[in-house]
Amino acid sequence: MQEQDGHIKVVSLLSGGLDSSTLLGYLVSQNYSIVALSFNYGQRHRRELRAATEIANYYKVEHRIMSVDLRQIGGSALTDSIDVPDINVDSIGKDIPPTYVPARNTILLSIALGLAEVVGARKIFIGANSLDYSGYPDCRPEYFESINKTFNLATKATVEGRSISVEAPLLNFSKADIVRLAEKLHVPLELTWSCYRGGKKACGTCDSCKLRLKGFMEANSVDPIEYERYPEFYSRYLKSR
Amino acid sequence: MQEQDGHIKVVSLLSGGLDSSTLLGYLVSQNYSIVALSFNYGQRHRRELRAATEIANYYKVEHRIMSVDLRQIGGSALTDSIDVPDINVDSIGKDIPPTYVPARNTILLSIALGLAEVVGARKIFIGANSLDYSGYPDCRPEYFESINKTFNLATKATVEGRSISVEAPLLNFSKADIVRLAEKLHVPLELTWSCYRGGKKACGTCDSCKLRLKGFMEANSVDPIEYERYPEFYSRYLKSR
């Protein structure tokens, strides 16, 4: 992580999940001047937007919710009526799952770039992490390196000498590392929402729930949010504590 | 321009203006299988979307209109209540004008990338041209070179070996070159709309109208669409014919 870099204006993508919420907590601890940016992209449930709003309010940062309807593109279990799969936690990261949304990070970061230019932000933060990247091509380090070069050519701001960089400081963090960081920073994890399904409680069976619970387990901690049912490995872990 | 490359599926951005309409006519002549993609991005007038629809219908190609509200970003005369300026035609290309929309091409191409992935397209075409690029940073050759590298890392399709490239075949064309190509291809220029203002007739004074008329003049031709009033240079030209 970088040195204290206070009062620089930044845009930080905030889905309301574990990663982006921890990232926000980190940026707050570093005294950045933050615009948190969430997207209503036609996700099948809005539960995560509620989480994002609660977390932005908790941290008292400016929060924008922008609309871009990725259902118009289709091709994903997160926006279409394709089923969100129950997944074997060991297969995560090996294949690109049906929850992949075509070009999502590229689209969302591009919109963030426009906003960063208008509000005068110097950095765009995203909570992507590659160790548990669940097979998404647009969460890989080489992807972020390249989009930084493109963004550096793309705007009036950069042409005029004000560079806007994309930063993914959690890129090499495991979920367990993120849980540890969140706890150290006292991030209100009880407000976060990672589940791909939109029930009253997190499902506990989609790959996002399983990755999250695996992270808490490996960090030797307990997830404060409620689940419909725990996956086998997490039930065993709770009993063993 | 490249060789005949028929039946390959492509996405082509279609604003309904001179450049993108001519590009579409060219792609039709090359027998590409085309999905024309227009954006409702909150532009202050919808006149250009009507033009895009008429041109797509003329060519009988599939046409999608996707919404992404760039007013949420702000910072442009095309989406905000900032005045569209009357411009001196000699200054075009020197400064970045207020009609610049922050990160527009990056956002629109990113959404096109998602669509290309879902429909199985191999190329994304955009009618950008750099000679008359009116100072937009995201119309420069080095920008397109870089975004191609980024897109090549961004999607499941490319990870699986199906590359999706961004092509800007008009990049080194002047407006006069584009008018000549359009006339050679019998593009229905009377259906196109380039004006930044949304009147019944094109205004004739915004930079887009002036660039267009300058192109017709330099191609020794006459623009078939109606104007509120011609700029001085074009009136003189018409009288001299």
Q: What is the pLDDT of residues A67-105, one digit of tens each?
A: 887 777 776 555 655 555 555 545 444 455 556 678 889
CA B117 from centroid of its chain's CA atoms: 21
Query: Would the pLDDT of A145 be above 60?
Result: yes
Rounded Cα–Cα distance for residues A176 and A195 (Å):
17
Residue whose C-alpha is closest to residue A207's, from A196, A199, A219: A196
Mean pLDDT by 10 residues, chain B (241 residues): 67 96 98 95 79 97 89 66 53 55 89 92 92 73 94 83 92 94 98 89 92 96 97 96 88
Q: What is the pLDDT of residues B84-135, one digit of tens each?
A: 555 555 544 455 555 667 888 999 999 999 999 989 999 999 999 876 555 6
* ipTM for the complex shown: 0.85
Q: What are the φ and ψ backbone dihedral angles of B37, each rounded to 5 degrees?
A: -125, 120
Burial class of residue B188 (count of CB atoms within 10 Å of its CB; 0-12, 13-18, 19+): middle
The pLDDT value recorded for residue A93 is: 47
Give the CA diameter of chain B.
59
The pLDDT value recorded for residue B3 is: 44
Query: Would the pLDDT of A2 be above 70?
Result: no
Instruction: Report, as an integer, the average pLDDT of A218-223.
Output: 97
Q: What is the mean pLDDT of chain A?
A: 86
Are B110 and A103 inside 8 Å of each other by CB? yes
Parallel, antiparallel, or unpaired: how do β-strands B9-13 and B33-40 relate?
parallel
The pLDDT value recorded for residue A71 is: 79
Which of B114, B138, B150 has its CB closest to that of A147? B150
Q: Hey, what domains does chain B have and what are their CATH numbers? A: 9-195 (3.40.50.620)
The better pLDDT of the pair A44, B142 is held by: B142
Are B114 and A75 inside 8 Å of each other by CB? yes
- B window 5-44, beta carbon within 8 A of A: none
CB < 8 Å to A62, chain B: none
Are A72 and B67 inside 8 Å of each other by CB? yes
Q: By the 8 A CB rule, do B62 and B55 touch?
A: no
The pLDDT value recorded for residue B42 is: 74
Share of chain A above pLDDT 70, in %: 83
Instruction: Report, as an integer, the average pLDDT of A7-33.
Output: 96
Residue of B nearest to A65 (CA): B72
Are B114 and A105 inside 8 Å of each other by CB? no
Residue of B nearest to A99 (CA): B156
The pLDDT value recorded for residue A83 is: 56
Are A103 and B113 inside 8 Å of each other by CB? yes
Q: A131 CB near a chain B CB, below 8 Å?
A: no
Q: What is the pLDDT of residues A173-218, one digit of tens each?
A: 999 999 999 999 999 999 999 998 878 899 999 888 999 999 999 9
Instruction: Report, as an integer, the average pLDDT of A129-147.
Output: 81
Instruction: Report, as an integer, the average pLDDT of A107-133.
Output: 89
Sorted by sequence, the CB contacts under 8 Å of residue B3 that are 6+ apart come out as none
Residue whose C-alpha is closest to residue B66's, from A173, A82, A73, A206: A73
Rounded Cα–Cα distance for residues A22 and A51 (Å):
13
Sorted by sequence, the CB contacts under 8 Å of residue B162 that are 6+ apart come out as B120, B122
Hey, of A111, A124, A145, A158, which one would you mutate to test binding to chain B, going by the most B CBs within 10 A of its CB?
A111
Rounded Cα–Cα distance for residues B171 and B166 (Å):
12
The pLDDT value recorded for residue B1 is: 47
Residue whose C-alpha is closest to residue A93's, from A215, A212, A207, A193: A207
Q: B141 CB near a chain A CB, below 8 Å?
A: no
Residue of B nearest to A111 (CA): B107
pTM of the model: 0.87
The pLDDT value recorded for residue A51 is: 95
Are A113 and B103 inside 8 Å of each other by CB? yes
Q: A106 CB near a chain B CB, below 8 Å?
A: yes
Residue whose C-alpha is closest to residue B38's, from B51, B25, B23: B51
Are A102 and B155 inside 8 Å of each other by CB? yes
Q: B66 CB near a chain A CB, below 8 Å?
A: yes
The pLDDT value recorded for residue A3 is: 44
Q: B154 CB near a chain A CB, below 8 Å?
A: yes
Lookup: tokens for A130: 């590659």
